[in-house]
Structure 1
Amino acid sequence: MKQLVPSELEALIRQGKDLTIIDVRETDEVATGQIPGAVNIPLGLVEFRMHELDKSKEYVMVCRSGGRSSMAANLLESHGYRVINMTGGMNEWEGAIK
């Protein structure tokens, strides 16, 4: 599985890269702030909502510390999706939040 650190993701966002970020934290966690433009799909729902995702796109998975996003990335990757896990999660994110 591909991985990147929060500062690398922030740099890609600043460069205007076309990214789809999926935040797998629970709704109450996301309410404290999330990366602008990220889509919230809690980890427990990823399996049931993966049909909404496009296999031709690459997705960046985000959570609080990198553990749940890694699990989501593994699940999606096993079904043929292209994913990148953001290690360190929102705990290490220093970029903008909404």
Structure 2
Amino acid sequence: MKHITPKEVESFLGKNHSLNIIDVREVKEVAAGKIPGALNIPLGLLEFRMHELDKTKEYILVCRSGARSARATDFLEGHGFSVTNMTGGMLAWEGVTE
């Protein structure tokens, strides 16, 4: 499993890199703030919504602490997606939120 730190994600966003971020937290959690531009697909719905994702793109998966996004990363990797888990999750995120 590939990993990326919140600081690395923040740095890429600060340099205007286009990132495909999927936040697998529940809707109520995301309402408190998410990384700008992140797509919310709760972990429990990922299996049913993965058809919305493009296997030619790379995705960064995010959750509250990094545990659910690690499970999501394993799941999507097993289905042929290029995915990276953001370690520490939103608890470690110090960047802006929307």
Distance in 1, Cα, partners of 2:75 & 2:20: 17
Aligned residue number for residue 10 of structure 1: 10
Shift of 1:15: 1.3
* Pair 1:69 & 2:69 matched: yes
Distance in 1, Cα, partners of 2:94 & 2:81: 27
Q: Which amino acid aligns with 1:77?
A: E
Distance in 1, Cα, partners of 2:89 & 2:33: 12
Percent identity for Structure 1 against Structure 2: 61
Q: Which amino acid aligns with 2:63?
A: C
Q: State the aligned residue count.
A: 98
Q: Which amino acid aligns with 1:4?
A: I
* Pair 1:53 & 2:57 matched: no
1:25-70 per-residue CA deviation (whole Å, 9 max, x = no partner) reads 0000001100010000000000110011000000000000000000
* Pair 1:27 & 2:27 matched: yes
Distance in 2, Cα, partners of 1:59 & 1:4: 11
Distance in 1, Cα, partners of 2:17 & 2:67: 25
Q: Which runs of 4 or more aligned residues in structure 1 lie more than 4 Å from their structure 2 counterparts after TM superposition?
A: none
Aligned residue number for residue 43 of structure 1: 43
Distance in 1, Cα, partners of 2:55 & 2:18: 15
Scaled by the length of structure 1, what TM-score is found? 0.98
Distance in 2, Cα, partners of 1:90 & 1:34: 8
Scaled by the length of structure 2, what TM-score is found? 0.98
